[in-house]
């Protein structure tokens, strides 16, 4: 059984992201399964800090993007999702390539949600563990 209440495609999610921060950072949704959502982000001049490492804020932007979109997919009608709190533990430096975020629900209730977003480098090593709490607003 699918977690999602809304029907969408990867193409539609990527189209929705064009022209905003998500698109500017090169975030691409790559996988939409019944219980999780995945996206990639390049590690390049858009997402690194002055010392050549993936910027922690870019990792948080990837995490919040995944959690917010997953939250939206768990709503229906005119409901909206807003972020309440995000935290991240940066576990490993990344210097090049891309990272992949995997978002899974820890809690998806009627009024709030909690999302776990794990970010991995190209070698599959865990580089960031993030958690996003969202609230559901009735439009």
- 38 tagged catalytic: no
Q: Nearest to residue 29, comparing CAs of 56, 1, 67?
A: 67
Contacts of 18 (CB under 8 A, 6+ apart): none
Measured in whole angstroms, the distance separating CA 70 from the mean position of its chain's CA atoms is: 8
**Which position among 33, 64, 76, 85 bears the catalytic label?**
64
Q: Which tokens in the block code for residue 31? A: 């996988």
Q: Which residues are catalytic?
A: 64
């Amino acid at each position: 059984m699918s977690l999602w209440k809304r029907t969408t495609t990867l193409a539609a999610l990527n189209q929705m992201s064009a022209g905003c921060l998500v698109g500017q950072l090169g975030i691409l949704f790559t996988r939409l399964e019944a219980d999780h959502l995945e996206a990639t982000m390049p590690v390049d001049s858009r997402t690194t800090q002055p010392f050549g490492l993936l910027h922690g804020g870019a990792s948080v932007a990837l995490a919040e993007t995944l959690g917010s979109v997953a939250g939206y997919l768990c709503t229906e009608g005119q409901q909206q999702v807003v972020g309440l709190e995000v935290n991240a533990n940066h576990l490993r430096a990344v210097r090049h390539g891309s990272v992949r975020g995997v978002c899974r629900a820890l809690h998806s209730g009627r009024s709030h949600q909690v999302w776990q977003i794990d970010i991995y480098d190209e070698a599959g090593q865990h580089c960031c563990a993030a958690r996003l709490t969202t609230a559901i607003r009735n439009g």
